Structure 1
Amino acid sequence: MDSARGWFQKLSSTKKDPMAGDGKPPSAEEASNITKQRVAAAKQYIEKHYKEQMKNLQERKERRVLLEQKLADADVSQEDQTNLLKFLEKKETEYMRLQRHKMGADDFELLTMIGKGAFGEVRICREKTTGQVYAMKKLKKSEMLRRGQVEHVKAERNLLAEVDSDCIVKLYYSFQDDDYLYLVMEYLPGGDMMTLLMRKDILTEDEARFYVAETVLAIESIHKHNYIHRDIKPDNLLLDRYGHLKLSDFGLCKPLDCSTLEEKDFSVGDSTNGGSKSESPTAPKRTQQEQLENWQKNRRMLVSLSPCLFYSGYTRLYCSRGPAEERLWNGM
């Protein structure tokens, strides 16, 4: 009842005062429409709430019956069955209590800032009750509305909640207040691929195979759920404490309706095979020294393009991988 009462208060506070603005009271038709909207919203909320409650109750009953059947088949004594059922009931009650708890920014202790963007920041935070360390992404609502990024943030949140993969950053909590949206995600202390490339300068062939394989697996994990990332770069490839790579920053991701794709979308036009050679003159070739100087001058820009180099320059590694690479490909 407390949650329903709070919801009604929030709904009422979001509605504009009918006397505000020009000072004229609303007409009978306008007042009737406003009342109908509030009634429809309340009805939708109550129906959804009790539908979820009935669904959860039915699932609990089914789980208990299934557990009792398994215990009976396992030839467990009656005393052990009773103790195990009581223990599991206690755990489930604690879990349901945690589900009812509404998370907020006050439940976390903010620590070091590790990133800042156009309309948000990322900080290391610690949950006060458990002491677990997370990365909190804090997004300002007004900036998102001004820049038209609301749909992008929704797509990012939906992807993180829907895709359960070891190849992407995990989302643990999401909540909001009057001014900000919060995404509490997995903290990866290994840094990003950009830092690694700047530090090591050139990766060995084995290291390139390893990171290319994990990058492909990460991208494949979101493609399976019909999402495209659209912002693949070394800054968004993070490393965990064991050195494994995970994909992050889904602010530009987009859900893709695969049912509208046709075979012609995957075909290559004839223009790439020489049909327009006469229209684009060949650029003058640079000497090796000029290439080296240009590479040193624009080093960071070239590093940002390294995922493209991964796919174009190292694709052959997947076509002829040996036993070691096969194990890596299978998830080691």
Structure 2
Amino acid sequence: MSSTRSWFQKFQHREKNKDKSGTPTKREIEETTNSPMEDEPPSSATQQKVAAAKEYIENHYKAQMQCLQDRKERRWVLERKLADGDVPAEEQMNLLNFLEKKETEYMRIQRHKMGVDDFDLLTIIGSGAFGEVRICREKSTGHVYAMKKLKKSEMLRRGQVEHVKAERNLLAEVDSGCIVKLYCSFQDQEFLYLIMEYLPGGDMMTLLMRKDTLTEDEARFYVGQTVLAIESIHKHNYIHRDIKPDNLLLDRNGHMKLSDFGLCKPLDRSNFPDLSENENGDGKNSRTLAGGVQYNNKTSAPMRSQQEQLLHWKNNRRMLVCFLSILH
């Protein structure tokens, strides 16, 4: 009761200090101005959340506008074809109504959020440090996919969140016949799920163990497809960093596709000036071999012969062995 009475007295005292117009006094303005304000800048975590929310909203409405434009274009193309084909007006109306019905069903499917309950989980075909890969079948269509299941807590503990983001971004961005296709991704409180293309042919390691030695034509074929797969991700400024036979998968027709982008990294082209165009804009590297190598207007040492390079490599290896023996 005493606390209520003291609060009421302070309130009456404040009301008396106000002028007749109801505006606060100079003393109250100074107290309000001198009150502690939160002038501290937002933390890095808050800035990251703001940037992620901004990117999500921009991408969402950009996709909405693109879908609307695509719908209008599909309707316009159908109307033109019907007009050029001298189709009766009643049949034209029926076809346009059928198109609208299909468009509505497609939009309803897009709004549906995928989850683990939409798939029948089948055999486990692989396991790793963060989770497992298993075969799954979609309940609505019966299509078979490969589900990659990653444990969030383990990714956070090992600091591999950025690698997983890079893998997901690469799979979503690169559309190539030499890369395993990503169909969708979703998550729950414990796991992150990537629904990818299922390749029943196994991997190159299994093929090499089974055949022991490939013929010249087979080796040329698989090496060529490996080069094409690596080139397809290099064109999108990514490097794989984990090329090995286990990550080269085979489809049912024997064609190779590159997989497992957990160690991939975006390529910063500013660190590789030889990949950029020269000042003339002709797309050729500014490199000459007249007595030395001109590399971005800088002259380096002349090119060594093969024997000199081998000798230089051996000397460096000897120095490294001596250095390691001293440390031990």
Pairwise TM-score range, normalised by the shorter structure: 0.5 to 0.7
Give the Cα–Cα distance (whole angstroms) in 2 for the partners of residues 169 and 41 of structure 1. 29
Match of 2:102 among 91, 101, 105: 91
Q: What per-residue deviation string (whole Å, max 9, x for no partner) do you get for residues 265-300 of structure 1?
A: 9989846745562672699xxxxxxxxxxxxxxxxx
Residues 1:188 and 2:222 are matched in the alignment: no
The Cα RMSD (Å) is 3.5
Give the match for residue 229 of structure 2: 218
Give the match for residue 106 of structure 1: 117
Residues 1:161 and 2:172 are matched in the alignment: yes
Give the match for residue 69 of structure 1: 80
Give the match for residue 125 of structure 1: 136
Alpha-carbon offset, residue 207 of structure 1? 1.1
Q: What per-residue deviation string (whole Å, max 9, x for no partner) do you get for residues 139-183 of structure 1?
A: 011111111111111111111111111111111110011111000
Q: What TM-score does the superposition give when structure 1 sets the normalisation length?
A: 0.67
Name the SS for the 2:180 alignment partner. coil
Structure 2: which amino acid aligns with 1:180?
A: F
Which structure is richer in relative contact order (CA contacts within 8 A, separation 6 or more)? 1
Name the SS for the 2:186 alignment partner. strand
Give the Cα–Cα distance (whole angstroms) in 2 for the partners of residues 264 and 172 of structure 1. 32
Alpha-carbon offset, residue 260 of structure 1? 4.8
Give the match for residue 211 of structure 2: 200
Give the Cα–Cα distance (whole angstroms) in 2 for the partners of residues 193 and 239 of structure 1. 7
Point out where structure 2 has 5 or more consecutive residues left out of the alignment: 1-35, 277-284, 288-292, 294-301, 318-328
Structure 2: which amino acid aligns with 1:254?
A: K
Structure 2: which amino acid aligns with 1:149?
A: Q
Q: Number of aligned residue pairs: give it.
A: 255
**2:133·2:147 contact (CA, 8 Å) conserved in 1?**
yes
Change (3 A) 1:164 1:43: closer
Residues 1:280 and 2:291 are matched in the alignment: no
The structure that has the greater radius of gyration is 2
Structure 2: which amino acid aligns with 1:201?
A: D
Match of 1:56 among 67, 76, 91: 67
Alpha-carbon offset, residue 87 of structure 1? 2.1
Residues 1:177 and 2:188 are matched in the alignment: yes
Name the SS for the 2:142 alignment partner. coil
Give the Cα–Cα distance (whole angstroms) in 2 for the partners of residues 53 and 279 of structure 1. 57
Alpha-carbon offset, residue 42 of structure 1? 12
Overall identity of the aligned pairs, in %: 74
Change (3 A) 1:198 1:28: same
Name the SS for the 1:123 alignment partner. strand
Point out where structure 1 has 5 or more consecutive residues left out of the alignment: 1-26, 284-332
Give the match for residue 262 of structure 2: 251
**2:269·2:275 contact (CA, 8 Å) conserved in 1?**
no
Task: Answer with 180-189 or 274-283: which moved more.
Answer: 274-283
Change (3 A) 1:233 1:51: closer
Task: Answer with 194-203 or 66-75: which moved more.
Answer: 66-75
Task: Answer with 48-57 or 171-180: which moved more.
Answer: 48-57
Change (3 A) 1:271 1:62: same
